[in-house]
Amino acid sequence: MASALVLALSSPAMAQTEPEHTDPIVINGGEVEMQTAVPAPDHLEGAFDQIYSGWLFRDTETQAMQLDDFENPGLIFVDQGIDDWNTVEGEAGKSCASCHEGIESMEGLRAEVPKVNAEGELWAMEDYINDCRTNRMQAEALDWNGGRMKNLTAAISMQSRGMPMNVAIDGPAQPYWEQGKEMYYTRFGQLELACANCHEDHYGDWIRADHLSQGMTNGFPVYRLKQAALVSQHNRFRGCIRDTRAETFAMGTDEFRALELYVASRGNGLPVEGVSVRH
Ligand code: HEC
Ligand code: HEC
């Protein structure tokens, strides 16, 4: 990255550029319609008035792929996730469906995670899945970034498509939220850039060939054209931190769970996109 660009990004001057259009995402000719711009949650007062889906910042071809479930490459993985949901595995001889019945029973979950579990720990969707696999199915835990885990999170996320993100940030979630917030404003790496330097101060600007969004997570897991695969939130965070030339946290760490909660809360109110398409 050119040093002039780094200077520009780390300058305190705000350079937010609002999107010219804020059309809704209309899928399958009207079957699903999702707002791409909604008022920012209260805790972002002073930072944002409106929050925007990352979809608005993509080129028209990438956008179009998300408008038709037959064109959205992520939907193949949703189907694979549903197959997995119905597959018996492990010593207990059960599938997810043995206890939860249809995957529609997961409706609403994606809008609320990460959330604090009964033991007071912050858990991401991946943690809930692996808890059921290891403790209730007597099967092996799935790799956080493996294909099967991403297929399952995609299939479960799809059940909440269109529902507004609504993670809790108070009560037992508050200390995790504070931790995530602190990370969001911490400058990482040789480039000394915080998440906020790019996604808060400079959304709408171009950085190399990329149009910077507000870095929202309501579209995850994302089908990334560049990687030709589903990408999890923690993988995306890792990539962004690596771009600042910093040592990064591993996927599935408490640090990334806290960051995931904070970033999700910045998007409270934006619809869950199920599986979005980004480049
Ligand atoms: C033996 C029964 C059983 C099996 C098999 C099972 N689960 Fe669960 N699951 C549960 C129970 C019980 C809970 C806790 C429900 C609660 O606390 O309301 C739960 C909770 C969950 C949650 C959290 C839901 C929430 O609203 O907080 C998720 C996600 C989940 N399971 C996914 C899965 C997936 C994916 C599979 C298959 C890989 C699976 N489960 C297999 C019994 C099971
Ligand atoms: C050097 C600038 C930069 C920094 C710093 C940065 N990112 Fe990003 N981020 C990008 C770019 C470029 C993209 C791809 C275009 C876009 O969606 O904004 C991106 C994409 C994302 C996305 C995907 C958005 C979507 O709709 O698919 C998320 C989430 C995200 N970043 C979170 C973070 C978090 C959390 C941090 C801090 C740990 C961070 N980023 C730090 C540049 C940055």
pLDDT tens profile 69-118:
999 999 999 999 999 999 999 999 999 999 999 999 999 999 999 999 99
Residue whose structure tokens are 């149009």 = 211
Contact 106, 100 (CB under 8 A): yes
pLDDT surpassing 90 at residue 170: yes
Residue whose structure tokens are 């937010």 = 16
Instruction: Give the CATH number of domain 25-71+168-278.
Output: 1.10.760.10
Amino acid at 274: G
Residues of the chain with CATH 1.10.760.10: 25-71+168-278, 75-158
> SS3 of 52, please?
strand
73: preceding bond cis by omega (within 30 degrees): no
Known active-site residue 240 = yes
User: What's the rounded Cα separation, in Å, for the pair 23 and 171?
Assistant: 35
> What pTM was computed for the model?
0.97
**Residues at CB less than 6 angstroms from ligand 2:** 54, 57, 193, 195, 197-199, 207, 210, 212-213, 215-217, 219, 222, 236-237, 240-241, 243-244, 259, 263, 278
The mean per-residue pLDDT over the stretch 183-206 comes to 94
Task: Check residue 81 and give its pLDDT.
Answer: 98
Task: Check residue 66 and give its pLDDT.
Answer: 98
75-158 domain in CATH 3.30.465.10? no
